[in-house]
Amino acid sequence: MHTLPTTHPGRRALITIVLAIVALALAASAAPADAKVKQGPKGGAFYAGPAPKKLPQGHGKAVWQRQATKLTPLAGARVNKTLLYTSRNPQGKRVIVSGSVSVPKGNAPKGGWPIISWAHGTTGIADSCAPTRVRPSSLVAPYVAYVHPQLEDWLKAGYAVVATDYQGLGTPGPHPYLVGVAEGRSVVDMVSAARQLVPSLGRKYLIAGHSQGGQSSLFAAAIADKWAPALKLKGTTAYAPASHLKEQAQLLPALTTPSGLSALAALIVKGASTVTPEIKVNKLLTPDAKSLFPQTGQTCLPQLAESDSFGGLAPADMLKGGADTTALYDVLADMNPAVEIGPPVFLAQGTADTTVFPFYTDQLNSELDGIGDKVDYVTYPGVNHGDIVAAAEDDALAFFEKRLPPK
């Protein structure tokens, strides 16, 4: 190969131009991964979104992004972004949803980074409870950060991690708490939108979630192929998923001791009421529960579980005696995640769990098996609700790597 001498002025100018072009090309290749998605505004305006007529058509579409802040960034990620995107609520109306995108360091493997779409556990239903809006000093921060060691391990293993806040949690409109179709759409649409933000993300993905998110992950897996046919779901992990809510609601009269479970019951009633106007909250709740109910939209689960809130109320004192619970129970029955799922499922449950009782997960496993789902169910002796994600980490990662190898 001939080289150009650098002594001739014209040739020096030519080399300068060539080097400038090369530098521009390198700069373009190193441009931020979010270059195709516009920058969102600062503060709460980010979550309010643009005017409806300015939203992209369809669901799973990126709206805007900004650098992740507060509790959201995962250590070891090359990219940490907060993303606003579109989805559809249970009534089919287009809504905006927030979430986060974290991408590993290094170059993406052939076919793009494999993705894990994370569905978080219960934080509350007030906008301030959305994981991407939670400050490290907040009382609800531990309800978000407890899984960061596992999410960061998944990053190190070579997976991009995307995490929805869910519909109405941080963004306009009510949060359809434990309404499977809404949460499932949020989980799957998060993947589609993240791929617009980061073109190096692949089409293949996994879903994982804990508690509320465990239930969400199962519903997301059930709709995945039809809701996002351009993607390919390879497997789902559900840690202590919420299930059999109707049966649990029917047991409330037997629970006569004040408990934080009353806070969860209040959130469940609120979530169910977003599905149908036939659920008349004011006619269902006792006077004591009704007086506390506005707090569900003002604060998060830790505060709601305190003795000066729902934590000071016995579950038996939540619903009026003789109230017509027909519409409520119908919706709660539909919240049970005994759904048909194509790809394999890893189901994990701690035997010392007093939030999601093991016998309900045992029952759910039997229901999933009866449907024909391919479920690997593992129980962890002595493990409580909050520790199940960490306790099952090795088994879950082995499941991920078998279903969707990161390299």
Taking only the tens place, the pLDDT of each residue in 99-108 is 999 999 999 9
To the nearest 10 degrees (0 to 180), the angle between helices 326-334 and 261-273 is 90
Each residue of 362-378: pLDDT tens digit? Answer: 999 999 999 999 999 99
Q: Residue 378's pLDDT is what?
A: 98
Does the pTM exceed 0.85? Answer: yes
Handedness of CA 220, 51, 58, 333 (dihedral sign): positive
Over residues 67-83, mean pLDDT: 97
Each residue of 91-149: pLDDT tens digit? Answer: 999 999 999 999 999 999 999 999 999 999 999 999 999 999 999 999 999 999 999 99
Each residue of 269-303: pLDDT tens digit? Answer: 999 999 999 999 999 999 999 999 999 999 999 99
Over residues 191-216, mean pLDDT: 98
Each residue of 310-364: pLDDT tens digit? Answer: 999 999 999 999 999 999 999 999 999 999 999 999 999 999 999 999 999 999 9
The architecture CATH gives domain 45-243+337-403: 3-Layer(aba) Sandwich (3.40)
Q: Residue 1's pLDDT is what?
A: 41
To the nearest 10 degrees (0 to 180), the angle between helices 180-197 and 212-227 is 70
Please check the confidence at residue 22 and state whether its pLDDT lies above 50.
no
Contact present, 240 and 361 (Cβ < 8 Å): yes
Domain boundaries, the chain: 45-243+337-403, 245-333
Can you read off the two tokens belonging to residue 263?
A: 């806070």
Q: Residue 36's pLDDT is what?
A: 83
CA dihedral 174, 177, 181, 183 (to 10 degrees): 90
42: left (phi over 0), alpha (psi -120 to 50) or beta: beta
Q: Which helix (H) or strand (E) holds 375?
A: strand 375-380
In angstroms, the CA 53 to CA 193 distance is 19
| pLDDT band of 407, cuts 50, 70, 90 | confident
Q: How far is CA 323 from the centre of its chain?
A: 34
| pLDDT band of 28, cuts 50, 70, 90 | very low
